[in-house]
Structures are given as C-alpha cells and as structure tokens.
Structure 1
C-alpha cells in the first residue's frame, strides 16, 4: 500500500495499525435501521388533513417492522430498506363526533416506486361510516406518501454523510475526479510534508447571524407561543410535537424542523438545538431566543450559530416567515419589523 502522497488515492493510508479500508473504498456497510425507525415516526406523527367533513390526524405509529442499510462498494452507494408499518388515526367531524381508524403500509421497499405503495386506510371495528374515511384515503394517503418519500430522500442525503470519505488532498473522490490531473498531482504531492489529520470526517462550513423583531405582546405571552404545542400547531398550521422542558424534543412543519430545548428561562430566554431535516445527519444549529420587555411590546432577538453556510439565506427566511410573520398573523401580535 502507498503512504501519504504516493500512488492511487484510493489506497492512501495513515501510518497506523488500524488504517484499513481507507476512504471506505472497499465494501462498507452502515446499519440505518434505528435511524430509520426514528425518522419514520418523526415524519408520520402529527400528519393532519382537514376539509368540510372535519379534521383527521395520525396519533400513533403502532408498528415498524423491517430494516435499512447503506452499502458503499468502490465509491458507489447502494441503499436497502424494507418496512411494514402500521399507524392509528383519529378524526373529528364538524359536529364534534370522534372516530378512530388504522393505516397500514406493507411494502415500503427500495424495490417499489412511491406510486406503487399500498396505503390501506380503514376505520376501527364497530366505528360507524363517516366521510372522514374518504378524506383520509385521499388527502391523508397523499400526505403519508409524501412523508415516506421524504424518508427515502433523507436516507440518501442525511444518513450517507461520511460514507465516502475525503482523499489525501482533502477532497471527496467525486470532487477529485472532476479536477484537472495536473492539479491533483500538485495537491497530493503537497500532502507529503503535512501531517495527516487525526479525523477523516467532512467538516461543514458554518456561519452565524442574528434577527430582531417586535411583537405587540408581553414577554410571558410570546414565550408561551414557542412552548405550547397547541399554539405551535396554530401558527405553523401543521401537526407538531413539543415537549416544553429542558431536554425536551420538538418537531414541527410536518417534520421539516426538529430539535431539543437546552435552556428555558421563563419570559426571558429559550436556547435550543435546531435543524432542518435536510441538513447533514445530526448537525444542529444553536438558536437562542431572547425576550426583552419594551413596555407595550416585546423585542425578540434570534441568534443562530453553526448554521451551514449554504443554508444561511433559507434559515433566515424560515425564521422570518414561519415563525415571526406567522405568529403575528395568527395571534394578532403584529408590530414593526426591525
């Protein structure tokens, strides 16, 4: 085998006893079963549909049987997943009558297209007929199909981080292959004198930014908006899960945003780990919300740190649109934007 700066970059190794399968070039497998189980629950729980007939929501994922894995063979990623899942849904008609039903998806698999999924929606035994069943079979099934499609996309993006590691020149093999041959030789040659990095993971460039907004509400009222699950569901207009305590998890906007509360100071500050589900696996920004009493108004300062550089504009826009503007419109807290 070659040392740093010598030969085919697929075989470059560090001078250590465990330097085998460098850059994951040979067959490498990563078990994605536990991650997939949590991801599927995250995406399915709280799915809601609403129409003239009433409102329906998935309340429980009662069964998740299957497995998932990712394999890398000579730089090619191979995905395997096969799931049989069951869930429970509840519906409330416009007249206030409640119904219960079940959902089953027996063939979520890499061998089947999303359009070929069997999504079975039914009412529980002894439940009377209701138009809510048709609502769930049409709009509900569409949202379930979208959530499962998001799972597959996340499996192929979030969970694959690090499956193909950087070569000696610090670039991924895909990037190296696109660079001119002369440039590659120069970069690899310059690595000879440098000490190899202790870790071979890919570093994510990050940034930080701050936003300020003013609300016609007291700090107590505005603080509660971020922690009360019903209020979060109201201003996001989607299902949400919020556990309002230190270490508590949250998930909102159909699972597109999730995280954990790290510090809660009533009426003053909320610190959280926060992420879009499209970000690299397990990468979180730190978001600090500071509430300042301005008499008849409350100033909210939003400090975001460790945001992926490529996601800065999207994250700024997300906080303005889906939090600040949505809260004002929903609860009548409209005030000037700083």
Structure 2
C-alpha cells in the first residue's frame, strides 16, 4: 500500500501551468458570503414593480443575514446558502390621493432546501389604512413575482458566475463545460436519503433494553480531513445530501436527514475525538445513545473507531446498517476517502 504522496496519482502534480488541485480531486471551498450580499443588494436596488394600479418600487435591502459557499470535490460543485432577507418598498396608487406609502418584504428562508417558487414571502405596509392595504394587496399580487425572479438570478449567478474557475481542466483539456454541478439538496423525488427504520418499539414510559456496539473503519485521508467531514456544515451537507443543522461546539446541537437524526455534542477534539448524544426520531421519546468516535491517523490511512452505547436492542442491526450506509459509505463516495492504492 502506498503512503501519502508516494505513487498516489491524487498527489502527483501534472505538467500544467497552475499545478494545483490536479484532476479536481481535493476538497476546495470558496466563501460566497460577501459576494452574495453584494449581489442581492444590487438585484433589489430601485427595482420597479409592474402594475396597472400603482407605482411601486423595491427601494433597497435593509437586512441580509446568513451565509453561502461553493465547494468542489472530485469535479462536482456543491452549493450551500441560507439567507434571511428584509427589503424596503414604497408606492402610491395611480388613482389615489398621491400619498406615498412604505413597507417591507421579508424572505426568512432562502436556502438550497427550498425552491424559489416555494419561498415564504411576507409583505407588510407601515400605514394600514384603506389605500395602504390596497397597495399591500397589489404587492402581494405582483411584487412577489419580482422578488422570486430576482432571487432566481442570484442563485443562477452563484452557480455559474461565482463558481467560475473552481473546476480546473484536467491535463490535455481546455475547458470543463461538462462537469456536473450539484446542490446539497438533491431532488427528493429521485433520491431518498432517510435512514431505514424498524417500525416497532415506539412505546414510551417503558424500561428500554439497550445494547452497545463498536465499528472500525479505514479511510484514505488524514485524521483532520475526517474530523472536518464530520463537523463542517458544508461537508456534512455534501455526504448526507440534504439540509443540515450543525453547531460543532460543546453543547451544540445537530439535525440530519430531515430531523430523523438529532442530538448534541459533548466533546470535540479536532482530529482526535468526537463524543455526542445521538438518537433516531423513532426511538422512545427522550431516549439518547452516546456515540464516541475516536480518530487515529496511521502511516498510510486513518482508522476510525465508533462506539455507541444505549442503542435500543430492537434497533441494533438497523443502527449498524445505517452507520455503514449513510455515514461511512456515503462519506467515502462523496470525498474519495475509500480509494486505496496498492
């Protein structure tokens, strides 16, 4: 078995001008936050709303809170974004008193989890008299379409404009137009990443018979790379293929696979150890197991030892299978951690 950097083609620099990230193998990431904030502000600066009944304008962005990133792994682009927006608008009725009204538009859940057409767009007006309420109704009817259209431009720009240069051509290639791009929220109608559950043993208020088990896995990566894959939201999003809630600090909580898996972190030692309280949604209410993951970097690979204490006996086999399928196999596929060279 080859050691890192000895004979492994992922670590051999080909003859190319940039000599970086050969074959797009390594995980690279760009912070899209600043670019996104500027782009969103630009898209909603003095935007006219088409209406036969009123003169309406979205004036500016009052608040844009959140984060965004673009990541490249093995020639695939993965996008993560989550924003909370507040926009200002103003307008007056064409056949009214010529009085101007002001209001706000809130978009609390712009993320890769939600299609633009499904966004919750909330519209309010400062003065809710007869004219103000009529303007609010017009904004509901026509303003929402403009908001969705502009946000679609932002998402398209994130995937096409911002990500330019992240996919490098391989040796002998001049462009990478055919590279596949992905978002972390796959089409749920095509891919079901929910864990397999045993439908029994949902009773509460009973003494639970539990078991303990251990698993050992080998990964072709460094200990820190494995730790990052378990604790960085972009990487967890990539291998779970769905929306993730993750706060990797002591006491921080997490939710994966649509909330089917949840818990909190008890201990985090970068590159060494992860301890967390962990449960399936179907387990008896309030019951958590303790998962300890020890990460040991060897000469030519990283060994991971998982011990899980407090698994309901009826769920033991299913839990083992789900760790293998939805964590280890998925991580190896997403990041290339399972490829060993001899």
Q: Report the TM-score range of the alignment, normalised by the length of the smaller protein.
A: 0.3 to 0.5
Q: Could you state the TM-score of these two structures normalised by the residue count of structure 2?
A: 0.45
Q: Could you state the TM-score of these two structures normalised by the residue count of structure 1?
A: 0.46
